[in-house]
Structure 1
Amino acid sequence: MVVTVCMVSDFFYPNMGGVEEHIYNLSQCLMEKGYKVVVITHNYSNNVGVRYLTNLLKVYYIPIKVFYNQCVLPTMISSIPIIRYIFVREQIQIVHGHSAFSALAHEAMLIGNLLGLKTIFTDHSLFGFADASAVITNKFLQITLAGCDHCICVSHIGKENTVLRAGFEKCSQRVSVIPNAVDAIHFMPRPELRSKDKIVIVVVSRLVYRKGVDLLAKIMVEICEKYPQTAFLIAGDGPKRWLLEEVRERKGLQHRITLVGMLQHSEVVHVLNRGHIFLNTSLTEAYCMAIVEAASCGLKVVSTNVGGIPEVLPDDLIYLREPNVSSLIDGLEIAINDLENGKCICPYECNMTIRKLYNWENIAKRTVKVYDSVIITGPTKPIHVQLKRYLSSYVWPFLLVVSLVHLILKLLEIIVPCDSIDKVKNVYNKDLKKTNCT
């Protein structure tokens, strides 16, 4: 019997980021293992309707307007008809939501619970507890985890953070740690592409506050003034790009600081292989995919010592520093001196280390174990049991939302019965050519 999984998130291709990469690569490896996988996300410009990606991965770009930061407005009810139709048509058994920021994932998991499907949530980020956005996001997470069957975090510090934010202490056995991975074969070192005349410091990041762009703006000026043999190559875009452009223009560093803007993920490796040092200035990270990709390409990694980053790379592959300008500059100076003195690990050895530590085949195996554990948990829970679980989130008005969604689903069953919806046959073609999952 083919197990059918639906990945749901506001963040997917053509948008670029760690969540997008995680969903895509995990889906490819699950398909290789015989699972049927479909993806639901909102429309991106011309991407509306059904699209097929590599190995016939089916993606539903449903026509919902973006509200803020590539997320839909969390109405909880406006998407019910189309999400229900997709779940029934594709004969979905497991709904796998990604990212606490994704309103679409929260909605789909609620609908999946009420339809009697198994639900799993992967939390990719760390959050605080004090500011308004964190309070709202944490409440959404608390509600979602109260109803879902299992939660996956990408680091141990992420698990602790999620358990605390969601008030999940009594149910921590329902939380697993499965890290991200990287296609180390794609991110192969190319030392011949690196400049012999200067040391290139690479930054690949969304240019937003939490990625430490304010720190980066000060660091690149001081490093350029102190080390004339250095240059910065910055890939990424975001609301903080203006700050880097302003600093570059004011200091006259156009020839030393290059901003290449947003890249396709396939292009990131070419940028990394032009550099010698990778700089990560994030103020918060559950798991940083960028530093793994950089290490796979053989770059020296200088990073802030925050969140789950200390868990990611061995000590000999990373220079960990406190998230402030002086400490990060110290880290860069050590890396520059090591390069000039020939204190370097062979880039191909770095790649082999990453290949052993993080590969999608291993991640997929661990995810399959979670799927198997929720499938055998038993039959669907009746509505009164589900309401009791949501009651544990202490957001009692949300019970009205759950009841309303339940009634809408019952009404839709009368108007468009499940039996009247054409079902897609769950057929797995073992002869289909697969991509490399290592």
Structure 2
Amino acid sequence: MRIALLVMMFPPKNLGGTEIASYNIAKHLARRNHEVHVITSSDPGVPNYKSESGFFIHRTVLNHTKYIGIVLFAITSMIQVTKIRPDIIHAQNITMGMIAFFGKKFFKIPYVVWGRGSDVHLQWKFKKYVSKIVLNNADVSIALSQNMKDEMQKLSKKDIYVIPNGIDPAIFKESKVKKDYTGTKIIYVGSLLPIKGVKYLIKAMQILHPTNPDIHLTIVGDGSDRRSLEQMVHEYALVQNISFVGKLPHKDIPQWLCNNNILVLPSNSEGMPNVLLEAMAAGLPVVATNVGGIPDIIKNKRNGYLVEPKNPQEIAEKIQYLINNSQMRKIISEQNKMDSQRYNWNNIVQNLDSLYSKVLKTD
């Protein structure tokens, strides 16, 4: 099967959840003997055409001028589609689905669209109009979580499948997992943007510090909020307790997770964050907000604890509970390592492959 996978950005320079998932989807589809072509935007210093991990990457021009840039990207991507002539187009979010829609309309190529998070949960111009066109014309629509499916279903007359993100458990076996159930090392991994709610985690650290003077938070990631967050840390006199390490290569994340004791994800909105699955594979208890697809993964007392968004007091209470209860941390740690096996990329892509075959009516 020849597959064109459309995604706005792609590694190595872009390492968000959608980008990492797209890389793994392409790699695992190629391992299943499919001819996979990723169509994405260009990056300075990165070749516009490359073969990697058994699949092909085609990078087209992305002008960052508002609207005009997106239109140019759509046109150049459509040109790539006509050259590749795929059996099926896979769009990695609803906006990419518009390109797939035109591929179906003009060239009769079926398409699959996979909602990724912000395209479903956040507001953007023409969202309702575009989403209805893309979802109602797609041969298959996929959501990452039940919550996302419910949102997408409001705009689609067709049933929507749920397939979560995946992980590669092997990379955690290669990392040195420290079985320390008494430490007070907290980690956050993600972008430093307002929607990620990191300031509420820093406020929780301020609450925790007086009774836990040795507590330490490592913040992995970068973004527009970094300067203001660093300023908060100085104002709260937590410079010795909170470290900003910036953006790291994705291959380094497993070891950073394994070197810490608890993952906290204080987001105001989420799709289905990969870092939760990675933290589970590393055996970390999780404290995360009850938003988006997070409750599909994290069950209270089984995988960690859910808290309400924008509530530093509740975040602090759950972290403190885990600090005080090493036996509970051990139980959750072992449970998380077992539960994470369900999200193996091999299984996820097998389900995706079955949907492709259903669309094309092949075995």
Q: Which has the larger radius of gyration?
A: 1
Q: SS where residue 270 of structure 2 aligns?
A: coil
Partner of residue 74, structure 1: 70
Q: 1:240 deviation in Å?
A: 1.1
Corresponding residue for 2:307? 321
Instruction: Tell me the matched-pair count.
Output: 358
State the Cα deviation string for residues 84-132 of structure 1 (Å, max 9, x = none). Answer: 44223323111111123xx455334423432110111000116788x8x
State the distance in 2 between where 1:67 and 1:265 align.
Answer: 29
SS at match of 2:254: helix
TM-superposed deviation, 1:288: 2.0
Q: What per-residue deviation string (whole Å, max 9, x for no partner) do you get for residues 199-232 of structure 1?
A: 1100001111211123123122222233112100
Q: Deviations over 1:115-168 (max 9, x none)?
A: 110111000116788x8x34533432222223322111111111001112xx21
- After superposition, the C-alpha distances for 1:327-346 in whole angstroms (9 at most, x for unaligned) are 1111111111113x675128
Q: Which has the higher contact order (CA 8 A, sep 6+)?
A: 1
Q: Is the 8 A contact 1:305 1:320 kept in 2?
A: yes
Looking at structure 1, the residues matched to 224 and 78 of structure 2 have their Cα atoms a distance apart, in angstroms, of: 35
Quick check: 1:362 aligned with 2:347?
A: yes
TM-superposed CA distance for 1:78, in Å, is: 6.2
Separation in 1 of the partners of 2:137 and 2:5?
Answer: 17
* 2-structure distance, mates of 1:34, 1:42: 25
Contact 2:220/2:246 (<8 A) preserved = yes
Does the 8 Å CA contact 2:304/2:332 hold for their aligned counterparts?
no
The answer to whether the 8 Å contact 1:10/1:72 transfers is no
Question: Does the Cα contact within 8 Å between 1:72 and 1:104 map onto a contact in 2?
Answer: no
Q: 1:122 aligns with which of 114, 130, 143?
A: 114
1:190 matched to 2:176? The reply is yes
Q: Distance in 2 between matches of 1:149 and 1:25?
A: 22
1:49-198 → structure 2 map (5 Å cutoff): 49-55=48-54, 57-67=55-65, 73-75=69-71, 79-80=74-75, 82-100=76-94, 103-125=95-117, 133-134=123-124, 136-164=126-154, 167-168=155-156, 170-171=157-158, 173=159, 175-188=160-173, 190-192=176-178
The match for 1:47 is 46
Whether the 8 Å contact between 2:118 and 2:271 is mirrored in structure 1 is: yes
Q: 1:343 to 1:251 in 2, by over 3 A?
A: closer
Could you list the runs of 5+ residues in structure 2 that have no partner in the other structure? none
- Structure 1, unpaired ranges of 5+: 378-438
Q: Identity of counterpart residues, as a percentage?
A: 24
What TM-score comes out, normalization by structure 2 length?
0.90
**Number of the residue aligned with 1:345:** 331
Match of 2:287 in 1: 302
Runs of 4+ in 1 over 4 A off after TM superposition: 126-129, 193-196, 346-349
Q: Of the candidates 5, 19, 30, which is equivalent to residue 7 of structure 1? A: 5
Normalized against structure 1, the TM-score is what? 0.75
CA distance in 2, matches of 1:93, 1:127: 25
Q: Distance in 2 between matches of 1:346 and 1:302?
A: 12
RMSD of aligned Cα (Å)? 2.6
> Aligned equivalents of 2:60 and 2:88: distance in 1?
19
Q: Which amino acid aligns with 1:121?
A: V
